[in-house]
Every structure is written in structure tokens, then in C-alpha cells.
Amino acid sequence: MAINGNNPAGSGEARLKARRNKFWTFVLAASVVAAIAGFASGFLIALIEDGSVPRFAAIPILVIAASGFVWFSYRYYKKVDELDLADNLWANTFGIYFFIITPAGWQILNHAGLTGPPDLWTIWIGGILFAGIAYGIRKLGFR
């Protein structure tokens, strides 16, 4: 059998390139959909705050957004290889630890009079950054 000659599936490199292209197309398409959904949900929330749309409309917006996020995550983890899966799981573990520890710790410090009350946006952004740093450290090969 010739190398990359009679193999209808192509070489291993060609299959890897095709798989990687499909993965990045999926990520790009999902990112575009997420951006459109983000703008649309922001617009709808502004209409809710304005009183043009009933307040209960926020519930299906949240359900749709959360469902899309869960669907993307499920599909994403089905498409990545075992090394990227392990890196993501490590980063997610560190991120969830941040989200578990930080609000409680901040609240304790607030009750002790050492800080102001916990801020949702600071915790949210901090958790994402913390998980991203953990992911980057894993990608740099610090295992």
C-alpha cells in the first residue's frame, strides 16, 4: 500500500487538517451566533426595562441563552481531543473553585468590615480570568 496513494480517507495529516478546520468552523459559527444572541438579548432587555416588553419575557430569554450555552459546551467537548479536554477540565475546575471561594470569602471580609459588599461583575470577570489563566498555564505545558 502506498503512503497517501490509494487510501481514500487520505493521509493522517489531511484528516487532522480537515478535522481541525471543521472544529474552527464550528467555533467561529457558534461565536457569531452567540454574538448575535448577545446583542438581541441586550436589545430585548432594554425593551423590558423601557416597559415596551413585559418583564416575564426575561425568563424565555434566559432559558434560550442558557440552552445555547449548554448545547455549545456539549458539542465543543465532543469535538476536542483528550489533551484539550483535560486542559479545559482543569481550567473549569479552577474557575469553579474561584466562584465558590471568592463570594464567601468576600462576604466574610465584608462582615468583618474590611471590604465593601461583594460585587457580582468583579467576581464574574475574575472567575473568567482565573479560569483563562489556568487554561493558559496548562497550554504552556505546566502540568
Quick: pLDDT tens for 27-83: 899 999 989 988 988 898 899 999 898 999 889 988 988 998 899 999 989 888 898
Q: Where are the domains of the chain?
A: 11-79, 82-143
pLDDT of 7 reads: 60
Q: How far apart are CA 126 and CA 99, in angstroms?
A: 9
Q: What letter would DSSP give residue 9?
A: T
In the structure, what pLDDT confidence band is assigned to residue 1 with cuts at 50, 70 and 90? very low
Longest dimension (CA), the chain: 75
pLDDT of 6 reads: 60
pTM over cut 0.85: no
pLDDT of 12 reads: 80
Quick: pLDDT tens for 104-130: 999 999 999 999 999 999 999 999 999
Q: What letter would DSSP give residue 140?
A: T
The predicted model gives 79-101 an average pLDDT of 93
Q: How far apart are CA 72 and CA 88, in angstroms?
A: 14
Asked if 34 and 65 touch (Cβ cutoff 8 Å), the reply is no
Q: Which three cell numbers stand for residue 93?
A: 475546575
Q: How far apart are CA 100 and CA 77, in angstroms?
A: 23
